[in-house]
Amino acid sequence: MLPWVTLRRIGLVSTVMTSIVVLPLDASRSAGEENTFAATVERWNGNFLWAPASATQDVIARFGDETRSVLGPIPDGDCTDGAAKTLDLQVDGNVVDLKPNSSKPGNPLEFEHRDATGAVVKWTGNVDRCDKPSLAGSVTYCGMNSRLSRILRGNVEWLSFCRKSTPSLEMEPDAYWQKSNPKFSRLGIIGFNRVTGEIVFFDGTKKRREFDWSQTFMPPGGHSYSDQQGRAAAEALYDPTFQISCSSCHDNKNAYVIDPHMGLARVGYASNAGDDPHPASGLGDYLPETLRGADAPFRIIGSAYTGRHAQEIESAKTVTDPSGNCTACHTLTTQTTGQRFAADAVAKEPWVSKPSWARLQQIGAERMKLRQIDSHRTAWAKRGGQGGIHPWMLPVAGNELSAGAPEISAEDWRRLSNCLWGGGGAECGYRPLYTACPAPGTAEQGDGAKPEAFSVAQLPLPSGEEDDGRLLRLGWKYLNDFGGVPERDDVRFNVAVKMSAIPSSGEAPAEKDYPDTEETEGRSFVAIDGEIGMSGTATLIRDISYFGHTKFTEPVASTALRAFRLDLPAQCNRRYLVRVLAKRFCFDQSDVKYADEGNLLYADIRCD
């Protein structure tokens, strides 16, 4: 006859720890029996017991594996003609390009200047100033013909930036700068989920002086765990040292920071009458104006990156402008959006009260960099009155510039700058820039998904098993739909199990009889076989993926609940007590987060 089985669910509070699954064994079990039990569990379930992004410790491949687990499939970086937008250069309100000058003997390469009607205004042999120089500080100030592409996949967007630059940071009439030349020096790729605020940065290797956009770029980790050719190609393409702190500039809780250099059409020419003749060239509205406030979630993915830059990530803060001018619409931080972009936007120098010696040195270096940027800006851009485009942000009016719009006052700027450089107090409204990794099932953090449809069944042992017991099958359903990514794969389950005699009264177990939270999290886990081992007085089985999701394979996209299953060898006339606990692999400095609720099940195995 079939054994008698009981199922019980209790919601319990759990904490943050490493993930594992445990089967409870009583003190009468010998080490040999524990080993046999673990080996059987591994044999029956081992293909589905694995942590995401655990296929390799190689920095770049693991980086890609972590990213796919959170943001889903990663497209190739693509700056080819069909995909990308070109960043034009603008000088005195005219669009400039590098072309052969047919009016001169030998058709030398020179800079052609065209006005809004397309008429050629002049040719020049060099360009040392432009209307909107780059604020990056480490690239050519007045470069041209870099490319940017944007790919949307549901809630996730991918930006590929193929930037032309030279070591001198200046531009010469060299064929390198032509639109038709696919050579460039800086490769950067950003992935961003606009719902969850999860962001990732891939930076091209610094061992290469040039890249070529005539072909696409393989993402870190290839396209899958099994894409060995792609994984190898990516190893040579990206920087495993993460020496560039991409998040220092991309810190406004968005994937991109709209500044004059990138968003050419976004800034300037704000004649209220609309009669300014100068063209609004460049990206136009290719990058949408999506503002995300200080309350928006924002978290960096990539354990190697966050490990390298942990200190600045931890210390970064958002700022509230005490004068009320600048942060009602924008997110400003104690990083680059505040310390450089804001200063350039209002054409003021950084200032802080009572600076330490180290801070004084930092501010001095930043003032020098801002002056270098400004020295590459045209007088046309800085001219006063109608059509002036620097400063490029104004109180109230923002970047809708006009002759009569007031600039920020010196007093208001000092109050804001003091906050941006960490010199202020409560008036600055300092808050951590980055938000915490959400535990599974925390609806207040946007992830309300919880396991459901729990089941317990006793089945005959599989053919060939030498025992008189039963197969105890645990089942549940769950969909990891955080951020609306159908391929998301950063949640696993731990199951802890204890075994005891069935009480003669048949009464239900007390809460204290089950494996506790610490045992289920595996704080004292000792491996026996693969992901099965002992944790306290419980047997723990770690990192259960959904049924069918075998080790180191990509998840099948789904918007329906996935089925989870765990098969355990069960002895007759014994009680099995189980705690099931979901956990999220955060892939940042916080490691793993466990669900706030565990699910308790028990089964009495009666074989008579």
Q: What pLDDT, on the 0 to 100 scale, is given for residue 349?
A: 96
Q: Over 80: is that where the pLDDT of 272 sits? A: no
Residue at 529 is within a domain: yes
Q: Which of 312-321, 375-384, 547-556 has the lowest mean pLDDT?
A: 375-384
Q: Over 80: is that where the pLDDT of 278 sits? A: no
Residue at 376 is within a domain: no
Q: How many CA atoms lie within 13 A of 410 on its CB side?
A: 0
Instruction: Output the six-digit token pair for 356.
Output: 């330490």
Q: For the chain, what is the mean pLDDT?
A: 89
Q: Over 60: is that where the pLDDT of 22 sits? A: no
Residue at 108 is within a domain: no
Q: Distance between CA 306 and CA 207 in Å, rounded?
A: 22
pLDDT tens string 205-257: 999 999 999 999 999 999 999 999 999 999 999 999 999 999 999 999 999 88
Q: Over 70: is that where the pLDDT of 11 sits? A: no
Instruction: Output the six-digit token pair for 325.
Output: 């001018």
pLDDT tens string 130-143: 999 999 989 999 99
- Cis check: omega of the bond before 391, within 30 degrees of 0: yes
Q: What pLDDT, on the 0 to 100 scale, is given for residue 268?
A: 47
Query: Alpha carbon 132 to chain centroid distance?
Result: 29
Residue at 512 is within a domain: yes
Write the CATH number for 574: 2.60.40.10
pLDDT tens string 368-425: 999 999 999 999 888 766 567 888 888 877 777 766 678 899 999 999 999 999 999 9
Q: Over 70: is that where the pLDDT of 9 sits? A: no
Q: What pLDDT, on the 0 to 100 scale, is given for residue 5?
A: 40
- Amino acid making up residue 534: M
Higher pLDDT among residues 285 and 601, named by residue: 601
Instruction: Write out the residue range of the structural domain in which residue 572 sits.
Output: 21-58+439-605
Q: What pLDDT, on the 0 to 100 scale, is given for residue 20?
A: 30
DSSP 171: B
Query: Alpha carbon 192 to chain centroid distance?
Result: 6
Higher pLDDT among residues 547 and 399, named by residue: 547
Q: What pLDDT, on the 0 to 100 scale, is given for residue 326?
A: 87
Q: Over 70: is that where the pLDDT of 28 sits? A: no
pLDDT tens string 319-332: 999 998 888 888 99
- Amino acid making up residue 587: F
Residue at 415 is within a domain: no
Q: How many CA atoms lie within 13 A of 368 on its CB side?
A: 7
Averaged over 568-581, what is the pLDDT? 96
Q: What pLDDT, on the 0 to 100 scale, is given for residue 385?
A: 62
- Structurally, how many domains does the chain consist of? 1
Question: What does the CA dihedral 56, 530, 532, 42 come to, rounded to 10 degrees?
Answer: 120
pLDDT band at 75 (very low <50, low <70, confident <90, very high): very high
Instruction: Output the six-digit token pair for 484.
Output: 């609306």
pTM more than 0.85 = yes
Q: Over 60: is that where the pLDDT of 17 sits? A: no
Residue at 316 is within a domain: no
Return the percentage of the chain with pLDDT > 70, whole number: 90
pLDDT tens string 457-512: 999 998 888 777 899 999 999 999 999 999 999 999 999 999 999 999 989 999 99
Q: What pLDDT, on the 0 to 100 scale, is given for residue 387?
A: 61
Q: What pLDDT, on the 0 to 100 scale, is given for residue 18?
A: 30
Residues whose CB is less than 8 angstroms from the CB of residue 403 and which lie 6 or more positions away in sequence, other chains included: 385, 386, 388
Evaluate whether 418 touches 348 at the Cβ level (below 8 Å). Answer: no
Q: How many CA atoms lie within 13 A of 388 on its CB side?
A: 19
Residue at 219 is within a domain: no
Q: Which of 27-31, 309-313, 394-398, 566-570 has the lowest mean pLDDT?
A: 27-31
